[in-house]
Amino acid sequence: MTPPDTLESAHKGKRGLRRIFNALLYSMSGLKLAYRHEHAFRQEVLGAVILLPIACLVPVTPVERVLLIGTVLVVLIVELLNSSIEAAVDRAGLETHHLAKRAKDIGSAAVFLALILLGTAWLLIVGPLLLPVVLAGGIR
């Protein structure tokens, strides 16, 4: 019988605090790579730069604030996962294949649903706060 430690991947790294520090470095690298190579991620980061301060300033309950911030982060998370799927599929081969197309389209659909979630949450939470401003003819 094989000892449990040998079942782990040969690529597994350190343990303890060193593993946590390495994970932080890998995560920062992933964010930088996504920003550098993924146009959609850059667009969504720009959206986050605009929406996150608004979420912090708008007069809502703490739960609503968490929902506003959370939906922005969900879009970024889903985009990162979609980008990683696309990179893995492209690594496997750039020729057109129905399974590669399926993987990419499903990833894109996940981003689309995350954006719908964001839009719905923001419309339902922030929309009523903006309605009086819109009906009064705007901010003067």
Q: Would you please indicate which residues are annotated as catalytic (active-site) residues?
A: 79
Terminal alpha carbon distance of the chain:
76
Is residue 52 a contact partner of residue 69, using CB atoms and an 8 Å limit?
Answer: yes
Burial class (CB in 10 A: 0-12, 13-18, 19+), 50: exposed
Query: Cβ contacts of residue 107 below 8 Å, gap of 6+?
Result: 81, 82, 85, 86
The CA distance from 79 to 26, in Å, is 17
Three-state DSSP class for 11?
A: coil
